[in-house]
Structure 1
């Protein structure tokens, strides 16, 4: 046990050297492998939606191994020891990497919800898919028990990707501590200003079901949700929301985010 503790302490110290906190330093090398994989297999379409080429990735043994190595590396780092921004980037990247690995392994034809570990499951979010600091973790654990509790919950929803068209984009680059806040706000703006986030109709607003599922994170009621949308809406959209500030319905597309 003492040897293991010493090894973990040394690893944490190494991480602190790799991931400097002061502005102006290079990007976090810890997430470099994931960053390369995203740049290789994720494309942003003319419709503004990121799609992952799972088929091409699945056929590349080296890059499947690179993904496995990246996840294994994160699993050995004591996340609780990291400063806030680094810890957020750590969990968001791990969540997204584990989700991609699951799609590569299970190869669902239409939707992530086809992956059902039990008869009553609605998807894979309760499966133990990774671990950290001696604890087996599900995707639900990472998102709900860790990230939404420790960070600004509303912004967490723009960082984690459920391999679905209706979800905020997975992103073309890894999350990084030094640019985290600006990148999160950019992701929120991109989603809110996309029809997946908000569509204004004569009868009111059709908004993502994310804002219904997690209404408590967005103000707790319709007025709070609209205030959140206005925080990130472009001027034209904001004007149209203010002119018709009634939530008519919610929508979400569970189709796999593939080309």
Structure 2
């Protein structure tokens, strides 16, 4: 019995010692194990994709009235956007897809907040915030805890960080002369194809661009954002010819179409 008690005591002491050793393991060991955690998946835009398929037709016209009557899923998607901004670990396509979808989704939110309206520009007169004169400058939503505006997404993030003029084919300001709002969400895996497809759609739509060999009537996008199209030795003509089925001469006469700010839907 005496020997059994000694053995039991020794076994208990050894167990306690092992536990003490585990609980006082160096922090670097625990940190190392934490570092093995799997990185979260890319942002899921599938709920937004379903909404676009339901409320946007092939021409990019939005059923604002229908969406306003059934906003629950749309608001849930906006909450996901708000709480999960891109991080440095995201790839460039993941980040760009996020910000393009965010711009378009919050533009829709802005229209719904003031619906019915004839034009997004009508909203500017309703904004009662000092120094805010356009709907694009209004900080009416938050991302990552920061109050943000549509201008900040377009000019402070997409144009500033990613240097890809094709974003102008994808950002939709809820107006007739804007590019077509795709009835699908932008995704990292499809982004390059989607942006090129938007370019072809925009440049070959005679209501938005009229391209001829010696003369072209282009969207004001090519005037407003001329510095984007002419970076890195490129030209407006080279971007037009990249997507237009009719090719314009480099020295073709260029004028700009009047911009139709009427709402892209009803």
TM-score, with structure 2 as normaliser: 0.77
Question: Are residues 1:70 and 2:77 paired?
Answer: yes
**Corresponding residue for residue 25 of structure 1:** none
Distance (whole Å) between structure 2 residues aligned to residue 176 and residue 144 of structure 1: 21
For the pair shown, the structure with the greater C-alpha radius of gyration is 2
Please, which runs of 5 or more residues in structure 1 have no aligned partner? 1-9, 20-27
Q: Over aligned residues, Cα RMSD in angstroms?
A: 2.4
TM-score, with structure 1 as normaliser: 0.79
> Could you say what secondary structure the match of 1:79 adopts?
coil
Q: How many residues align?
A: 225
* Equivalent residue runs for 1:113-124 within 5 Å: 113-116=121-124, 117-118=127-128, 123-124=134-135
Shift of 1:66: 1.0
Richer in strand (by share): 1
Shift of 1:215: 0.7
Aligned equivalent of 1:92, options 100, 108, 126: 100
Distance change in 2, residues 1:120/1:204 (3 Å): farther
Deviations 1:123-154 (A, max 9, x none): 30001122223321100000000000111331
Please, which runs of 5 or more residues in structure 2 have no aligned partner? 1-33
Give 4+ residue runs of structure 1 displaced > 6 Å after superposition: none
Shift of 1:97: 0.8
Preserved contact between residue 111 and residue 117 of structure 2 (Cα < 8 Å): no
* Equivalent residue runs for 1:1-259 within 5 Å: 16-19=39-42, 30-44=44-58, 49-60=59-70, 64-81=71-88, 82-116=90-124, 117-118=127-128, 123-200=134-211, 204-219=215-230, 224-234=235-245, 237-238=246-247, 241-242=248-249, 245-259=252-266
Preserved contact between residue 112 and residue 123 of structure 1 (Cα < 8 Å): no
Distance (whole Å) between structure 1 residues aligned to residue 92 and residue 214 of structure 2: 42
